[in-house]
Structure 1
Amino acid sequence: MHPRAGQRARPEDLVDVDALIRSYSERRPDPADPAQRVSFGTSGHRGSSFDGAFNEDHIAAITQAIVEYRATQGVTGAILIGRDTHALSEPAWRTTLEVLAGNGVDALVDSRDAFTPTPAVSHAILKLNRQAPGRTDGIVITPSHNPPRDGGFKYNPPSGGPAGSDATSAIAKRANELLANGLSGVRRIPFERAVAAAGRYDFLGEYVDDLPSILDLDAVRRGKVKIGADPLGGASVGYWGEIADRHGLDLTVVNTTVDPRWAFMPLDTDGKIRMDCSSPAAMANLIEIMRGPATYDIATGNDADADRHGIVTADSGLMNPNHYLAVAVDYLFRRREQWGAKVAVGKTLVSSSMIDRVAADLGRGLLETPVGFKYFVPGLLDGSIGFGGEESAGASFLREDGSVWTTDKDGILLALLAAEIMGTSGKSPSEHYAALAAKHGAPAYARLDAPATREQKARLGALSPKDVAADVLAGEPITQVLTRAPGNDEPIGGLKVVTQNAWFAARPSGTEDVYKIYAESFLGEDHLRQVQDEARGVVSEALQG
């Protein structure tokens, strides 16, 4: 824990925005350096212009690669462009439009010339494709909750959700070829002509006006729920006030500041500025507001592109994301009667087993997938899963009638659901979780990092169950060793070891020389620490084996 974690940033903590943007246009990445090549993780290509990892050449090459890829897939309609409030998002947006227009591809940008959250882009893709199936896709320029020095770039195909690995691998391969060839083959025109050629789309109006199809906003009004919403300086900053006005909610936007340095943010646990709405340190401002006089019943936060949610209640402070996901599942499947009895619950395999117990209590099937929201896309599209959620505070669910809402994470939606829960029950989501814990047990959950070389990380990602020799974990017999997700048989890029009351999962980091250990125990904090300690040994032995 950094000594100033949770304290407001100082001048020396802030990024030099002018220098960052200069680096974007002036620095040329070295295609021979793996750290400066295009690489799509679970949430797109990310990096900083200071490091030669997110520069104009990258964005021109990626956009050209997307143009070529979508042509091979028969996607011939407009491509929707969203962006968040990071400093690098604006210049990347300009480059993107120049390349799209240079290739004769129609682009749709926000009609207000404003920031556009990820869920609004997913919502728009699906709506437009209902009118002309398979013609529309999207790009969202965002590094999510990453520090202000970073930029990010995501591609959403006509399914509306994050692109699958087949698409991202093809796009990254072609983009790196273009980089290596000095951008020969990239077609672009000047920005003034490109932006003039772009069409306009009312992302905000289409999204906000459609909210009654998925939420019981009447219950929020009847319950007189007072909401405090903090966009954390992100792309949802223009949405929350409109939500309040158009739907008559008692909702206050507690912070309307947009500052690409994020000077108003408290430091995260490692001393960096990070707009992580699931981190108590990063959410210190909102937590402090809720500690004062009872101004709000519910307070919510979003990250920079609003695909994540943070829920703060007066009785418990910032909720653990796993706790809120369990509450959301329990509430929705008891209230959404039109969904049907066969609709299942979707979760990542590193999310809390409390969700497993809630799903079993509801009599619902459970789709457990690898990390990555893309795995929930098919089930949300066809209505076979009613809710898909990740442990990192990202989720979406179906409309009241059982049809798809978004196939990407929607932090605005999950924040408003907390108000609906309070409006219908008179109890906060944290009170609901206390009732679930009393019924199913109270798990202890944590994530930590352990050092690993590049070779060890590659070995970890390729393990099979037979590589694990242990048959006992923290005093309990091991019941499962998984290297493929039980919900869809996709490789998990690591392993998960399960007992009756505990589990751990180990996955290599995509950006650092560490592997991540997720662990949970229903037998208390001491047992959790024992699970964590033995997990290191199990992984070490497997890597040597």
Structure 2
Amino acid sequence: MISIVETTPYDDQKPGTSGLRKKVPVFQQKNYVENFIQSIFDSVAGYRGETLVIGGDGRYFNREAIQIAIKMASANGFGRVIVGRGGILSTPAASHLIRKNEAFGGIVLSASHNPGGPNEDFGIKYNVGNGGPAPEKVTEAIYARSREIDRYAIADVPDIDLDTVGSFSAGDMTVEVVDPVADYAELMESLFDFDAIRAMFASGFRMVFDAMHAVTGPYAVEILERRLGAAQGTARNADPLPDFGGHHPDPNLVHARDLFDLMMSYDAPDFGAASDGDGDRNLVIGRGMFVTPSDSLAMLAANAHLAPGYSDGLKGIARSMPTSAAADRVAEKLGIGIYETPTGWKFFGNLLDAGLATICGEESAGTGSDHVREKDGLWAVLLWLNILAVRKESVAEIVRGHWKTYGRNYYSRHDYEGVETDAANRLMDALRTALPNLPGRTVAGLTVEAADDFAYHDPVDGSVSEKQGVRVLFTGGSRVVFRLSGTGTSGATLRVYIERYEPDADRHDIETQEALADLIAAADEIAGIKKHTGRSAPSVIT
């Protein structure tokens, strides 16, 4: 039986760069989840009888939301739902299942790297048939529908047993509960030289992978320990927990500090890595050597041909605008295209589908390739392992060799979290107003060469995305970028990206913040960060 339930709209269901994210109590409001899911279904067409993939990162409220989504998919006419056992699917694994099963789309229940728990964060994201996040025209339609929705459809059927692999019925719809790891692990085996990596582990290579009590734990145990032969316990914090063990599942140097300290210690293993809440981000640290996400993108692109899945070379490289230009120099040397997009993985989808790019990356610890349409944390870790196994060098040796060949991009991101939203908007408005007067101005001893508000013209579909971040470029190639993040759930996060290119190998060992000191001072003076936000220092430096 199908019920048509009358409802009233909420005015705060506008998806951000990675779907709708709010605190759990917001999602627990009457009809809040139902309204948004129905708005998704009402905004797309042609799904009757088709397949929908549903999964999440295991955070608090995951199971309840999955049951609602299954019942609504049944009532709205989907023919089949594929869901991960226990409600678990990493975001890249969900993308792969959508593509492998030629599904109509997917619903990913996650707030990525944000904290989980009864009063923490939850999220719902819709992915389209190519496996990637819904493009802006779809998310805009969803938001428009959510503001006028007056009813939703839901099937009056029992909850599905999410903990048992098998086939079940939800009204006229089939629900397949699948092993969340198996298909993804098979895909990884097709891309990487597992024999070479296995031999490296057998020779005594030591690694630590911190799953942060998030979704990649089961994936890391199966792939690293069982299939590749890494020592038992290589995957730490491997049990997904609804509150991520009370920790913040963001693989950066603040929230993965224990891993960083271990890798900088006397008895550090050869390789350290971590992933985030939903498995799409990565942290890479060698013994005594942290690899920035921007550098990691460039180094993976420069060495990707060493992995079987990329032995024919790359078609192109894409990076988000705030990501450092390190990858640009690799693309130039390889003679392939380089594409600069706004922040948000959905912008890479067109490039990947059109065959213009093979590897993509963002400075926010996201890297991936055309194997799926999401960034993929464990994929990046496995490509690093493949490179290490073939080159038989340490992470530090590979990094220093890369800098010697291409030069070093000193790079840092300063986050001012939880800034009062109006204050953050005033700061950005003032910056945009000042843009015409910045070129030629000297700030902190640096001369502004150019300044703009980044706009992206998609080379595939011709769409234009404006106001994607304010860029200030200085004479000599240094730059500062300012933008507001769309991944938080309270207040605003001001992100300031600072970059200096240094071609001189004799100057590649300066401490990063020291190397960027004048640019940091210039950023505060140009934007009036302290004046607008009241903050004298960032919340997080990465």
- Decide which of 200, 211, 234 is 2:188's aligned counterpart: 211
Equivalent residue, structure 2, for 1:449: 416
SS at match of 1:282: coil
Aligned ranges 1:239-254 → 2 under 5 Å: 239-244=219-224, 247-251=227-231, 252-254=234-236
- Decide which of 481, 485, 494 is 2:469's aligned counterpart: 494
Alpha-carbon deviations, 1:178-228, whole Å to 9, x = none? 3xx4xx334342443797422234442111112122112222123234433
- Decide which of 234, 239, 257 is 2:214's aligned counterpart: 234
Equivalent residue, structure 1, for 2:482: 506
Is the Cα–Cα contact under 8 Å of residues 220 and 420 in structure 1 kept in the other structure?
Answer: yes
Is the Cα–Cα contact under 8 Å of residues 306 and 390 in structure 2 kept in the other structure?
Answer: no
1:380 aligns with 2:352: yes
Is the Cα–Cα contact under 8 Å of residues 190 and 309 in structure 2 kept in the other structure?
Answer: no
SS at match of 1:90: helix
Question: How many angstroms does 1:371 deviate by?
Answer: 0.4
- Decide which of 41, 44, 47 is 2:22's aligned counterpart: 47
1:303 aligns with 2:272: no
Moved more, 243-252 or 205-214: 243-252
1:122 aligns with 2:95: yes
SS at match of 1:177: coil
SS at match of 1:493: coil
| 2: CA distance, partners of 1:256 / 1:441 | 35
SS at match of 1:122: helix
1:516 aligns with 2:495: yes
| 2: CA distance, partners of 1:75 / 1:296 | 52
Quickly say closer, same or farther: Cα 1:38–1:453, change in 2 above 3 A. closer
Equivalent residue, structure 2, for 1:68: 42
Is the Cα–Cα contact under 8 Å of residues 341 and 364 in structure 1 kept in the other structure?
Answer: no
Quickly say closer, same or farther: Cα 1:74–1:283, change in 2 above 3 A. same
Quickly say closer, same or farther: Cα 1:106–1:381, change in 2 above 3 A. same
Moved more, 218-227 or 408-417: 218-227
SS at match of 1:40: coil
Is the Cα–Cα contact under 8 Å of residues 43 and 141 in structure 2 kept in the other structure?
Answer: yes
Quickly say closer, same or farther: Cα 1:101–1:487, change in 2 above 3 A. closer
1:359 aligns with 2:359: no
Alpha-carbon deviations, 1:427-465, whole Å to 9, x = none? 233432222223313414232439676387289479879
Equivalent residue, structure 2, for 1:155: 126
SS at match of 2:219: helix
SS at match of 1:497: strand
| 1: CA distance, partners of 2:430 / 2:19 | 22
Is the Cα–Cα contact under 8 Å of residues 462 and 493 in structure 1 kept in the other structure?
Answer: no
Equivalent residue, structure 2, for 1:257: 239
1:177 aligns with 2:151: no
Equivalent residue, structure 1, for 2:390: 424
Whichever residue aligns with residue 231 of structure 1, its letter is: A
| 1: CA distance, partners of 2:527 / 2:206 | 47
Equivalent residue, structure 2, for 1:221: 198
| 1: CA distance, partners of 2:193 / 2:217 | 22
Whichever residue aligns with residue 445 of structure 1, its letter is: S
| 2: CA distance, partners of 1:322 / 1:116 | 26
Equivalent residue, structure 2, for 1:369: 341
Quickly say closer, same or farther: Cα 1:209–1:335, change in 2 above 3 A. closer
Quickly say closer, same or farther: Cα 1:526–1:338, change in 2 above 3 A. closer
Q: TM-score, normalised by structure 1?
A: 0.79
SS at match of 2:516: helix
| 2: CA distance, partners of 1:462 / 1:201 | 51
Equivalent residue, structure 2, for 1:274: 248
1:146 aligns with 2:114: yes
Question: How many angstroms does 1:381 deviate by?
Answer: 2.3
Equivalent residue, structure 2, for 1:414: 380
| 2: CA distance, partners of 1:428 / 1:166 | 45
Quickly say closer, same or farther: Cα 1:342–1:231, change in 2 above 3 A. closer
Question: How many angstroms does 1:478 deviate by?
Answer: 1.2
Equivalent residue, structure 1, for 2:539: none
Question: How many angstroms does 1:233 deviate by?
Answer: 1.0
Unpaired runs of 5+ in structure 1? Answer: 1-28, 130-134, 266-272, 398-403
Is the Cα–Cα contact under 8 Å of residues 90 and 279 in structure 2 kept in the other structure?
Answer: yes
- Decide which of 293, 299, 303 is 1:327's aligned counterpart: 299
Whichever residue aligns with residue 77 of structure 2, its letter is: G
Quickly say closer, same or farther: Cα 1:54–1:39, change in 2 above 3 A. farther
Q: TM-score, normalised by structure 2?
A: 0.80
- Decide which of 316, 319, 327 is 1:344's aligned counterpart: 316
1:313 aligns with 2:286: yes
| 1: CA distance, partners of 2:181 / 2:392 | 30
SS at match of 2:134: coil
Is the Cα–Cα contact under 8 Å of residues 101 and 189 in structure 1 kept in the other structure?
Answer: no
Is the Cα–Cα contact under 8 Å of residues 227 and 250 in structure 1 kept in the other structure?
Answer: yes
Is the Cα–Cα contact under 8 Å of residues 18 and 125 in structure 2 kept in the other structure?
Answer: yes
SS at match of 1:385: coil
Alpha-carbon deviations, 1:150-184, whole Å to 9, x = none? 11111100011111111111112222323xx4xx3
SS at match of 1:306: coil
SS at match of 1:95: helix
Whichever residue aligns with residue 209 of structure 1, its letter is: E
Aligned ranges 1:1-80 → 2 under 5 Å: 37-50=12-25, 52=26, 55=29, 57-71=31-45, 76-80=49-53
| 1: CA distance, partners of 2:28 / 2:176 | 26
Quickly say closer, same or farther: Cα 1:297–1:257, change in 2 above 3 A. same
Question: How many angstroms does 1:109 deviate by?
Answer: 3.4
Is the Cα–Cα contact under 8 Å of residues 343 and 385 in structure 1 kept in the other structure?
Answer: yes
Quickly say closer, same or farther: Cα 1:507–1:87, change in 2 above 3 A. same
Is the Cα–Cα contact under 8 Å of residues 97 and 191 in structure 1 kept in the other structure?
Answer: no
Flag the structure with higher strand content: 2
Question: How many angstroms does 1:62 deviate by?
Answer: 1.5
Aligned ranges 1:77-92 → 2 under 5 Å: 77-92=50-65
SS at match of 1:126: helix
SS at match of 1:219: helix
| 2: CA distance, partners of 1:54 / 1:297 | 45
Is the Cα–Cα contact under 8 Å of residues 452 and 515 in structure 1 kept in the other structure?
Answer: no
- Decide which of 515, 518, 524 is 1:530's aligned counterpart: 518
| 2: CA distance, partners of 1:315 / 1:411 | 21
- Percent of paired sites with the same residue: 23
Is the Cα–Cα contact under 8 Å of residues 61 and 176 in structure 1 kept in the other structure?
Answer: no
| 1: CA distance, partners of 2:303 / 2:114 | 31
